[in-house]
Amino acid sequence: MELDLLPLGLPSDNERPFVIAGPCSAETEEQVMTTARQLADKGCHMFRAGIWKPRTKPGGFEGNGEKALPWMQQVKKETGMLTATEVATPEHVELALKYGVDILWVGARTTANPFAMQALADSLRGIDVPVLVKNPVNPDLELWIGALERINGAGIKRLGAIHRGFSSYDKKIYRNLPMWQIPIELHRRIPNLPIACDPSHIGGRRDLIAPLCQQAMDMGMDGLIVESHCNPEQAWSDASQQVTPDVLDYILSILNIREEVQSTEPLAALRKQIDEIDNELIDILGKRMRICREIGQYKKEHGLTVVQTSRYSEILDKRGAQGQLLGISADCVKQIFESIHEESVNQQIEIINK
């Protein structure tokens, strides 16, 4: 399905990026107003705050709900910033619009649910408001596009996407894996759809915000949505990933905005995908080596030999056949696995001799 889109029309000093900043949650009137004033002083044009918070477990702070909406009105009145919040149900949409919220976004958990997306879309019919749809929690581009199609199908033309990373069981550096190839592919599929990056929910850590913002700019993304709080350590949700307006201003000031890679330049886009895949390859090899070292420890404790020939032949046979099915010569697969095996053996020998 072709999307029928109009420019988002969000304010920004330069062409790129547009920036939406504000706390994860609207906690108190004072926290909202203090943060908003500080952001406005730094020249920020759009203020975000969660009014309804989707929490992984019950019992956490689930947002103030309607009570916090007058605070958003106050932000707009006093600072002139546009306001943005997450909506997950038709009731949220109705209330947010009733209090004049300017920009709505759909959270990652909601995007993953087509029933919820359709209900949201139906509640937006006939309304002209910019809507930003976060990627679903799971790395499923079709589900993301389907959610965008539902909202667009309801007549919302000022539509954008937010890349906030993808949930994974094996959390290492990132709270949510960026998997940049997915937003890149979204851009290839729907070139005129603006995409913003949410480095806060990808990184999960303050110190990752700056490098992720830069990476998003290098990927040609159009905007940033960053969590910023007047007192991040004391935040009621996502404390570890929020930065003060001061720090955010510094992060934005050192961004290096390079000329956007033209989408008519297919080679550059494909190379980005290759870089991303190479990153993943190294990551996966690292994981494999970690497990090899665990096996080494087990072999040491149980007096087993490092090289077990039958296991080695089994790996070579299986992977050789699998490679051939994917158009890689059996010889190439053999060479790759010989190198990997050699490094694994070396690492295990080191452990056994320790």
Tokens matching residue 202? 């990808």
286 binds, among Mn ion, ligand PEP, none (CB under 5 to 8 A by kind): none
42 binds, among Mn ion, ligand PEP, none (CB under 5 to 8 A by kind): none
Handedness of CA 57, 120, 156, 45 (dihedral sign): negative
Nearest-CB residue for Mn ion: 24
Give the type of residue at 102: D
- The residues binding Mn ion (CB under 5 A) are 24, 238
- Shortest CB 85 distance to ligand PEP, Å: 9
Q: How far apart are CA 24 and CA 77, in angstroms?
A: 21
Q: Please, which residue, 176 or 348, has the CB nearer to ligand PEP? A: 176
211 binds, among Mn ion, ligand PEP, none (CB under 5 to 8 A by kind): none
Q: How far apart are CA 65 and CA 334, in angstroms?
A: 59
83-106 burial by CB neighbour count: b if 16+ within 10 A, else e? bbbbbbeeebbebbbebebbbbbb
Q: Please, which residue, 8 or 333, has the CB nearer to ligand PEP? A: 8
Q: Indicate the helix (H) or strand (E) that contains 196.
A: strand 195-197
Q: Please, which residue, 50 or 245, has the CB nearer to ligand PEP? A: 50
Nearest-CB residue for ligand PEP: 107
222 binds, among Mn ion, ligand PEP, none (CB under 5 to 8 A by kind): none
Contacts of 295 (CB under 8 A, 6+ apart): 348
Q: Please, which residue, 203 or 220, has the CB nearer to ligand PEP? A: 203
Pairing of strands 103-106, 195-197: unpaired
Q: Please, which residue, 123 or 200, has the CB nearer to Mn ion? A: 200
Q: Is 176 helix (H, G, I), strand (E, B) or coil?
A: coil
- Shortest CB 154 distance to ligand PEP, Å: 20
- Shortest CB 193 distance to ligand PEP, Å: 18
Token pair 């920036």: residue: 19
- Shortest CB 134 distance to Mn ion, Å: 11
Contact 164, 198 (CB under 8 A): yes
Q: Please, which residue, 86 or 222, has the CB nearer to Mn ion? A: 86
Q: How far apart are CA 85 and CA 63, in angstroms?
A: 11
Strands (E), 51-171: 82-86, 103-106, 131-134, 159-163
Q: Please, which residue, 52 or 337, has the CB nearer to ligand PEP? A: 52
- Shortest CB 23 distance to ligand PEP, Å: 9
**φ, ψ for residue 293 (rounded to 5)?**
-65, -35
Closest CA to 35 of 245, 321, 303: 245
Tokens matching residue 113? 């649910």
- Shortest CB 254 distance to Mn ion, Å: 24
- The residues binding ligand PEP (CB under 6 A) are 24, 50, 54, 86, 107-108, 134, 164, 201
27 binds, among Mn ion, ligand PEP, none (CB under 5 to 8 A by kind): none
- Shortest CB 116 distance to ligand PEP, Å: 12
Contacts of 316 (CB under 8 A, 6+ apart): 333, 334, 337, 338
106 binds, among Mn ion, ligand PEP, none (CB under 5 to 8 A by kind): none
Q: Please, which residue, 108 or 210, has the CB nearer to ligand PEP? A: 108
Q: Is 163 helix (H, G, I), strand (E, B) or coil?
A: strand
Q: How far apart are CA 197 and CA 174, in angstroms?
A: 14
- Shortest CB 24 distance to Mn ion, Å: 3
